[in-house]
Amino acid sequence: MYKYLKHSILTCIIVPCAILTVLLAPQWAFFVPVVITLVNMAGDNFTPPDRTNPDYSQLWILDSFVYLYVPIISFYLFSLLWLIAPNDFLGFSAAMSSLFPVDLLVIKKAAGLRGMVSGAFAVGYVLSSNHLYAHELVHRTTDKIAMLTGRYLLAMTGDAQFSISHVYCHHKNVGTHLDAATARRGESVYRFFIRSTLGQYQESWEVESQRLRNRELRIWSWHNRVLTGFAMTLAFYALWAYAAGWLGVAIYTVVIINAKFLFETINYIEHYGVVRVPGTQVLPRHSWDCDARISSNALLNLSRHADHHANAQKRYWELETYDTSLQLHYGYISTIVVAMIPFWWHRFAAPQLIEWDRYSATPAEKQLAQQANLASGLPLFLSPSKQGDIKHA
């Protein structure tokens, strides 16, 4: 049974515990990201890797973890909305008091501004997982329920366009200059966040425009999935404005930016510095891979990213690990922390990329890599002969 339950960590443990923290101790909610980060780092670095690929007979259980996440994370966002609202929004506290011996209004009043800020930080951090679950769903392009559910999760974080740019642009163009979601050598995660975010919106708009032109439909219409995605997010904003006014709008914006930045950091580490000739086959070597246990189990095998890009049709429980040249040795959460410190990150990534250039790249890719090294402006890439003296971070 463990082989099923290991993929329920986020849905059944992390998010429910985060909800209780925001409602019962909002002024301490900033510990939610801290605890999650530390537990993940410890689990990834002090337990053996998980390279197993079990046979599953009850696939509905694995799917249920994905769909069960939706109402639970929606309630998590509501818990912050209720905390920010100036009154007992929708009578939530009164309803809880009739079921449990707790007065949430007293807790809310005592939390004050500190509780609001801490809660916003905690909710934004955890809501970055929306992209993770939506990522699984929007790849099921022929399943209307999966697509709608995935877009709902993405719209909650202001990023419904991801269902277009990721599936139809990123997977096609990964590792090339055409892909907004592939980080360049020498590029910091902060610069990447802005470039990638704007670039993905441009990509999704171009894809939708072409799709609608092919169907002889108006671009500025409800047929445009970029516009309907915006409309879904505006509906969330309208709810926040109704419940908490301009303060609600500001807090919700902070939540969205926080969630989006954290997920773009994952994008950053998954393909940083990889090069590929446009139009050639996407292979496992074009992604950074990771076999760390918690990263695999808690993140729906997103860490098995090499297989995902080589076989995008696979469901998350079918993905396998690869012994590629590019490995995120310390797990996803640890690597996110490293990526936020550019000097540290480049010392971690550059030696592996130089090894990739030497032993994994095709002759054409070696030329692209040389150009990328020069464009990076970093001595780590400009002096490959010295890389043997650099130890992994």
Residue 318, helix vs strand vs coil: helix
pLDDT at 206: 98
- pLDDT at 385 exceeding the cut of 70: no
C-alpha 355/C-alpha 358 separation (Å) is 5
List pLDDT tens digits, range 210-252. Answer: 999 999 999 999 999 999 999 999 999 999 999 999 999 999 9
pLDDT band at 194 (very low <50, low <70, confident <90, very high): very high
Residue 327, helix vs strand vs coil: strand
Sign of dihedral through CA atoms 337, 304, 270, 166?
Answer: negative
Look-up of token digits 């997010």: 233
Which DSSP string do the residues of 130-196 spell out, in sequence order? HHHHHHHHHT-TT-HHHHHHHHHHHHHTT-TTHHHHIIIIIHHHTTSTT-TTSPPTT--HHHHHHHH
pLDDT at 382: 85
C-beta separation of 255 from 124 below 8 A: yes
Tokens representing 66 are 């994905």
Catalogue the E-assigned strands of the chain: none
Whole-structure pTM value: 0.94
Residue 20, helix vs strand vs coil: helix
C-alpha 124/C-alpha 264 separation (Å) is 13
C-beta separation of 23 from 107 below 8 A: yes
Per-domain residue ranges of the chain: 1-393
- pLDDT at 390 exceeding the cut of 60: no
Q: Roughly what angle, to the nearest 10 degrees, separates helices 31-46 and 332-339?
A: 120
C-alpha 34/C-alpha 295 separation (Å) is 16
Average model confidence (pLDDT) across the chain:
95
pLDDT band at 301 (very low <50, low <70, confident <90, very high): very high
Q: 339-363 in b/e burial notation, b at 16+ Cβ within 10 A?
A: bbebeebbbbbbbbbbebbeebbee
- pLDDT at 292 exceeding the cut of 70: yes
Q: 40-71 in b/e burial notation, b at 16+ Cβ within 10 A?
A: bbebbeeeeebeeeeeeeeeebbbebbeebbe
pLDDT at 387: 47
C-alpha 242/C-alpha 236 separation (Å) is 10
C-alpha neighbours within 13 Å on the C-beta side of residue 206: 12
List pLDDT tens digits, range 161-179. Answer: 999 999 999 999 999 999 9
The strand pairing partners of 327, in sequence order, are 289
Give the closest residue to 43 by CA, choosing from 6, 15, 92.
6
The strand pairing partners of 289, in sequence order, are 327
List pLDDT tens digits, range 1-48. Answer: 889 999 999 999 999 999 999 999 999 999 999 999 999 999 999 999
C-alpha 219/C-alpha 237 separation (Å) is 24
Dihedrals phi, psi of 135, to nearest 5 degrees: -55, -40
C-beta separation of 111 from 85 below 8 A: no
